A = this chain, B = another copy of it.
């Protein structure tokens, strides 16, 4: 069996000294001028090629400096079949640069459909096979089971959305079920499964959860329920969550530094304002500065 995702990520983050994960969100409206080929639109010629150029250039900036990248599937799907081919190449190129790939796809379905999703994204050798994936558990624990079974075989990580970072997260996730909000009930339901994806070296579980950086109090409560579950924390940076808030659910590791999850930043790294309209070299410098700033902030905050 290949090494477990939780071991691979946590050991890499310990070595680098921070838990930053860079989101790969090729938003057509934000791709810098230097990568554009005329009008950018899902059907326009060269749009997929321009997106691929930007993605690979971003991988080149972050390789060796972060443990993982998080491509957002939606932006690739928006390009149609050409986008799926770009995503496959981005996943391949990320792994070739020793970056773990956490595909943000928030899939969730039942029975043989869930098996098909697991085959698409977790089966080693599949064109879109990733090291981890995000999931939506609304359909129930049996909808997660095919992903768990695939993850046990392949060593993949799973991140179930508990508490998202948008204002509307309150609509359903915070509804009171008895004494507790729904997202805590989902967390409780996941707890018995943690041991199945427990990684032997670091004792973290690859059955992870998504908790937004804008909700530190919620992160702490989820950590009590799931003491060894990796957190994926989106919303750091552009969405307004501070480094301290993003680390609210992290706990001291063997070296005394906070660990236990991935802190994701997407637009703040890939689309820095000063890199928008210049040449490729000025975008590269702007990305390097944004990346260095985020790494410095998180490296300091985990101490």
Give the B-binding residues of A (Cβ under 8 A): 25, 27, 42-43, 72, 74-75, 77-85, 87-88, 104, 106-114, 116-117, 119-121, 123, 125-128, 136-143, 161, 164-173, 175-178, 182, 185-186, 189
Contacts and interface: CB of A to CB of B under 8 A. Distances in A.
A15 B78 CA distance: 35
B178 A182 contact: no
Contacts of A120: 42, 74, 77-80, 83
Contact of A78 (B108, B119, B173): B119
A43 B113 CA distance: 18
Contacts of A164: 110, 139-140, 143
The 3 closest A-B pairs by CB, nearest first: A140-B168, A80-B127, A142-B168
Contacts of A83: 84, 120
Q: Which of A72, A84, A114, A185 has the most CB of B within 10 A?
A: A84
Contact of A172 (B27, B138, B169): B138
A117 B74 contact: yes
A165 B106 CA distance: 20
A117 B177 CA distance: 31
Contacts of A107: 74, 106
A77 B172 contact: no
A234 B84 CA distance: 28
A72 B109 CA distance: 10
Nearest to A113: B74
A170 B170 CA distance: 21
A84 B82 CA distance: 8
24 contacts: A43-B126, A74-B113, A74-B114, A74-B120, A75-B113, A77-B84, A77-B128, A78-B117, A79-B120, A80-B128, A81-B88, A106-B107, A106-B108, A108-B108, A110-B165, A110-B166, A138-B138, A140-B167, A140-B168, A140-B172, A141-B168, A172-B186, A175-B177, A176-B177
Nearest to A117: B74
B81 A42 contact: no
Contact of A77 (B43, B75, B106, B117): B117
A157 B241 CA distance: 35
Nearest to A189: B171
A126 B79 CA distance: 8
A181 to B, nearest CB: 10
Contacts of A88: 80-81
Given A177-B176, A177-B177, A108 B136 contact: yes
B80 A81 contact: no
Contact of A116 (B75, B113, B125, B182): B75
Given A116-B27, A185-B175, A42 B127 contact: yes
A89 to B, nearest CB: 9
A178 B82 CA distance: 47
